[in-house]
Structure 1
């Protein structure tokens, strides 16, 4: 069926909010970057830190290598970088494997060498399977937070119980791994279930947002550095929107693949506004004034989730809407009820499955197919969203 010509909307009343610029200050959800001295040039590191500071990032993860130490002491390049990061106001995290920890000569009973370098958190990579070992680390007297390897733990319940019994739970959190090798990331369900386990006992959890700007020396054949495999080919904007919509994580960051300035801006914007962005394509014939009003509006799905559509009522009675393009509603079709729907006129909807046409519903566009998971997450009605037009 060919689209019908649209009517005009002389009575459109826009009370939606415009897209806000990035504001200063730190958002409640912490933002992080990762730096690897052995794979990034000094100029790239300096630019990365400058951009992170300007965009309200507060956490810097530093990858630890044995070659950065000599007889247990940091070499000049590492010591200088740690000082720069600390003086810039970031909280510094050491990312370290158990093998590197032992080979450098660190002592689980005394983290003073790490504290002296300015580290305020220790992110445990591979190894560290013994509960008593990690319990001791959480008892350090330097206030160093121990960040466990979230999803990679073989016995997370045993770990939590051990720390509750003998460790310091106030100095313990979890950060899920990032995965640079394609097809190796975790499933959505495993990430959610493990995160909820930690959160149920008050433990903060961090996760990694995808970036497509660069590849990793660990796997130079492909880009993408997410925690969740289904996000590997998503933009940072969409990856971040999904993670924010999950409403589970205390820290969102970029893993070992450096993000671009634009990707960093996308993450800051989504987190600081606490509003996720749904990419859409509008019908070319849609009246520009109505389209602009919809783009300015903040939506939120009804909490009594409909079985077949996502319903957002915020635009009801904001415009006089005549029937237009009342065609079949394919999955992820963007629709709006016209005046034939009476008091529902202006209700914006997204089809969750293929649905037939109705005379009272106009199909005005299509959600980008890559945002299907995001739409499912928004259906719970717990977070605001805006429409972002794609070219």
Structure 2
């Protein structure tokens, strides 16, 4: 599952609702919010929470709320009355410190309960079993880390997630946004420290492919329009979308743009378009035979004989070759996605001009 974050310290506007609709259309199914800002007015929190819950219900999205027992009491709800929370659109609670395993087990029989993935212990699991918790309704959620240098280290993160999954927990983690960031630090909200500053989709794929994570939520309030489109392509079309910028005065941009698939016998140095050489193309004259940097989009020219027309995306720096034209470059913001174009992966090359118009 993919999800977004909405913070109740901010006014909920029509732009907020439109963003949720756009993210739902892009394949996102969850909303996360938090009730941990004590300086805010309680009545505003209740109003905004009910509004957010109503929107989530209308969009068919699940709403998980990070809560403490005291905050829940302040807004007029109780762990003993989960039906009241379900009625306003809250589908799950992420339990804060101080909430007993007995209460968590009780709530799990009515709605989803999430624990702090980093701190849950074997003893907690045994106690939850003792209190007849519904483990089909229980998940393990990691934190996000606003302060630089405090995010988690990947190796230990994976080890903990493997243990949690062996117990039957779904594991969730956060990746950073790249448009509106959350204050007061505005340094992004990732779970892993090495994701701070990374492309949100590249971070997401790393969590799913290498880190034993099931669900990924955007920690920050928003991602930009281009990144929304990339998530849509990845979730709905199983395709990596690369924005590219053409080399000045090239004659062959139309040959490379469009849909491709990396070969199943994936190369070390380049992504090879599986069917490029089988397309009907003009004779490719030698042109722009420069050194190939990571992200270069190349087209083999007529000097390569039967390889003429092969399209590649360069994964590591390569010297120039008189038989290989450089036609375009993946834009800097998308370079990190190249590493996740594995064997058989569908990908699409889209001119940045077309991307901006779309």
Shared fold per TM-score greater than 0.5: yes
- 1:335–1:260: structure 2 CA closer, same or farther, 3 Å change rule? closer
Question: Which residue of the other structure, out of 261, 267, 278, is the alignment partner of 1:299?
Answer: 261
CA drift of 1:95 comes to 1.7
CA drift of 1:314 comes to 2.5
Q: Deviations over 1:319-366 (max 9, x none)?
A: 343433333333443323334444433333333333333343333333
Structure 1 range deviating more: 261-270 or 203-212: 261-270
| Aligned residue number for residue 188 of structure 2 | 224
SS at match of 2:191: coil
CA drift of 1:284 comes to 1.6
Matches within 5 A, 1:279-290: 279-287=243-251, 290=252
Q: Deviations over 1:120-155 (max 9, x none)?
A: 22224x53698x558725x7321x1223333x3365
- 1:209–1:387: structure 2 CA closer, same or farther, 3 Å change rule? farther
1:267 equivalenced with 2:231 (yes/no): yes
1:387 equivalenced with 2:349 (yes/no): yes
Matches within 5 A, 1:192-231: 194-195=160-161, 198-199=164-165, 203-217=169-183, 219=184, 221-231=185-195
- 1:242–1:213: structure 2 CA closer, same or farther, 3 Å change rule? closer
2:14 and 2:295 map into 1 onto residues whose CA distance is 44
Equivalenced residues, count: 344
CA drift of 1:315 comes to 0.8
1:350 equivalenced with 2:338 (yes/no): no
What is the aligned-residue RMSD (CA, Å)? 4.0
Q: Deviations over 1:53-87 (max 9, x none)?
A: 555543222322467769xxx94554454345334
Contact 1:317 1:343 (C-alpha < 8 Å) held by counterparts: no
Contact 1:178 1:185 (C-alpha < 8 Å) held by counterparts: yes
Contact 1:182 1:222 (C-alpha < 8 Å) held by counterparts: no
CA drift of 1:42 comes to 4.6
| Aligned residue number for residue 67 of structure 2 | 96
Structure 1 range deviating more: 271-280 or 186-195: 186-195
Contact 2:7 2:221 (C-alpha < 8 Å) held by counterparts: no
2:256 and 2:298 map into 1 onto residues whose CA distance is 11
| Aligned residue number for residue 338 of structure 1 | 301
CA drift of 1:233 comes to 3.2
CA drift of 1:188 comes to 5.2
Contact 1:109 1:140 (C-alpha < 8 Å) held by counterparts: no
Matches within 5 A, 1:53-202: 57-65=28-36, 75=46, 78-79=49-50, 81-97=52-68, 100=71, 111-124=82-95, 126-127=96-97, 132=101, 136=105, 140-142=108-110, 144-150=111-117, 152-153=118-119, 155=121, 167-187=133-153, 194-195=160-161, 198-199=164-165
Question: What is the TM-score with the length of structure 1 in the denominator?
Answer: 0.69
In structure 1, the gaps of 5 or more residues are: 1-29
2:160 and 2:309 map into 1 onto residues whose CA distance is 40
1:202 and 1:311 map into 2 onto residues whose CA distance is 39
